[in-house]
Amino acid sequence: MESILPLISYDTFGFATELLLATALLVVHEPRRPKFALRAALSCALVLCVALAVAALFNYGWLNLLRYALIFASAAAGIYLSFDLTVHEALFFGLAAYNVQHIGWRVVGLTVYLSPSILSGFSATVAALPVMVAIALLFSRTLRANRDATVNNLQLIALVSVVILADLVLNYIPILLGGQGIRLSPTESVYAIICCLLTLAIQSGILVRSRLEHEQALLQELWKKNRDQYELAKRSIDVINTRSHDLKKQINVLLAASLEGSQESGTIREIQESIEAYDNKAKTGNPVLDVLLTQKLMQAQSQDTTLAYLIDGREFSFLDEVDLYALFGNVLDNALESVAHLNDKGHRVINLRAVRRGHLLVVHCENYAGEDVLLGADGLPRTTKPDACNHGFGLRSIRMVVEKYRGNMTVHTDDGVFHLQIVMPMPNPD
């Protein structure tokens, strides 16, 4: 018992305790595995037991580095066992937790250097907690904004690991050379804090880059689907128009052969009206928009929606065919989807205008949304679908096309009406 009591100290459990606190601050919002409370308790016990064991076995010289590495490894294992994360994600969070812990410890170290009597033992952990909370909240903002991004880029995680290892070794050398009682200089502590902040910045960059790559891949896939959909819609409408034209000829022959006012004549006229409904081809002066609007008018009719449009399609001839189809297609798809769930059929109305004003092309679409739409940090509405990672790309696709042609897109809601406006400059004549 006497040999164990000296191990019950801050030197044994300080790093482990602070690392657990930093981990809790970072993963508190992550999805949890079944029986989370039991898993979390066992994980904490594992970390503390490892800390006690390595303090007894490796508490001298360079073996202290292995001591901290084993505590870190047990904390990362605890994250994986308690939370529904991959091994790569658990390592990612473990690395971030180490940085948060080390920043807090170094800030306290600066305070101790200036006034050695202020803090000692576990009071240092209490003093480090506000610093860790502040750094964790700062990092968590980026984490939540990019949480749908993957974090399993092994090369970048390996880079972060090397930075942490270098920081640990270089800053532990003075202690190894001068003994456990040495006080680290302010320069060394400031250097360590900067290294950890830079490492957190690298990890934030991993998330942002991964999210942008994921979004770019989805937008490219959406662009390809728009291209294929345009070709399919064009062929389908051509076939419908051809069949409709042939049927109208045959019906005219039948009408000429039937007696006016007879039951047979009435039936034939009903068939004629049904065919003419499919022959309601849009005419904007632009063949791409004609195909698209004809398709969307049919869709609107099928869901009892009124689609009114005023478009001078000739002004949009400078846009690539697929870009033009993707632009107006996503505008109308979003509007049709928004009004489809409205119970009041009188509110299932979409107004679309696309005209030239001076040297600018202005596209304005408005429809009832039922309620004001919440906008995210990027100025776009937040998707209400559960799989946010793979939804909400309609407006992003619109913005991508608009920015390609040096335009600007804005959205807002007013008394439950959703407004989308696009402004694009006309190209300079050659």
CA angle 175, 178, 182 (to 5 degrees): 65
Low-confidence residues of the chain: pLDDT under 70:
1-10, 59-62, 112-122, 124, 143-157, 159-161, 163-164, 166-185, 211-281, 371-393, 429-430
Task: For 74-107, write each residue's pLDDT tens digit.
Answer: 999 999 999 988 888 888 888 888 888 888 888 8
Q: What is the pLDDT of residue 6?
A: 52
Nearest to 184 by CA among 114, 99, 98, 104: 114
Cα–Cα dist 393/387, whole Å: 12
Q: What is the pLDDT of residue 134?
A: 86
Cα–Cα dist 299/368, whole Å: 17
Task: For 296-323, write each residue's pLDDT tens digit.
Answer: 888 888 888 989 888 888 888 888 887 8
Q: What is the pLDDT of residue 422?
A: 92
